[in-house]
A and B are shown apart, each in its own frame.
Chain A
């Protein structure tokens, strides 16, 4: 069995290398003739934003043809790494997360786009700062996800809670509200809130709203947010973390079947809800509110942008740059917003397009949720991010399952990050 697995892995690696090497024979085309550029992306059939961008770009530039290079989402970073190591010439590369971006950029695999980035207005482009590597830019963001609070309109109505109350929630208000929304027992239990098992739900929220540093090695600033979550769990307001984890509960199941009234989650979930409601897979009536805050009056959340970059080995750099600029432009942002995905460019016009979509909540609470005051990067970019992420995840499990007391867990996190990541 295991031998089988290893030989399959080896075969896949060998194949990947072979395909990567085979890509080098592409001769450069004349600059003014019709051209074809290749764009590396993932799950083309189920990620509508890519088709929207490619179609939009092609109709604006009839002399350039775009060919998608479709890669399985889970394998994407690994596959692109192998492709680049083999000198692949795929023109445009999607930057799935900023950690990969900094890896590719600092190793000189990407074409500088500093001039193009300087033309964009940072006040309107949420997430642009994340691509700033000592004043240089190697990618332009086209999409920005950030965290909001989803709520079940039906359950709120049944409890007699007006939706406008969700506009300015503090975490204390959230806890009180969640407690009042919890009802039932056993299989028919409805939880006041569902917080998914990811460590970011607690940790990135705390970091964004207290200004704490996730890479710093001192994690005292997590304490309030953990205490709140653990208390809610103890009171039966949240599904126990251990159950959610061992049963591999999906957040979509919890929310779309009405098992949870409130749920902090990223904006990408709106696109899923829109599609599922349209396809008749769920009947949930949903709304979005701003993420609860530590102090009333603020609107700080966390998120991660997605961007396009140009491969340094590209033979069609001008056409490739045109595509990247198009995706970041107003036309690109409109195309993305139309499929229910939140674009990086968040001008009033784009927001109007988004809220004009059938099924998207139109009210003031939702509009406020989609215009957060500040979006802090989910995990700061550093060569140590991946190792620290692993340690934080392991200790998060121990705290949430009650295997370690909160204080012991927090000090173990700090100790391990200081000792093991060097």
Chain B
């Protein structure tokens, strides 16, 4: 009974406090908006039927070729497999494209005055004059050039095994890029892929909360008074900031 009690009080709490957030209509079947009727039963709802796919998305910042690289690369970094959907299915490419138009991508809160010494000890931190927009633009061009040099085709056209081998070369800096270290490009790509897989769906990634479902993170529930002391599995599904339910 404590489950029902928690759910109900949760709903009441949200109804009282969420009034500032517009109730968003959810287009996809199987997702109940919080605050609507019968949300108390949503904990028992079945997982989404059928294979998970990301919604259609046209990139705003990346070119078609660049976006093809992003889609191919993130699908290898967090692949779809027997544990569930991967980065591609979670909408990580959309997330990264949208991030390119945020202050983050222009290094808005980074100190970017020179002189720059990229050869400084690594413990002294990032010392390149490049911001994420430049890291992606230069890095994808270099990665595709490297792929063509190794296999005669752009990265996106290669087999998964070839792609994995190239990503390992980027990660280890074995691939020699001319404009920036391959490992720097790889590090940003991997970090942003993880962000897009586990962020709130508000940012375009983690669609249908597939990242959160994978690990058991309940998202924006943000009230665990009744669960603090219990060493047992937390039973409620994830919710997002917009009120979607996994």
The answer to whether A and B come from one shared complex is no
Query: Which residue numbers of A lie inside 8 Å of B, CB to CB?
Result: none
List residues of chain B with CB under 8 Å of any chain A CB: none
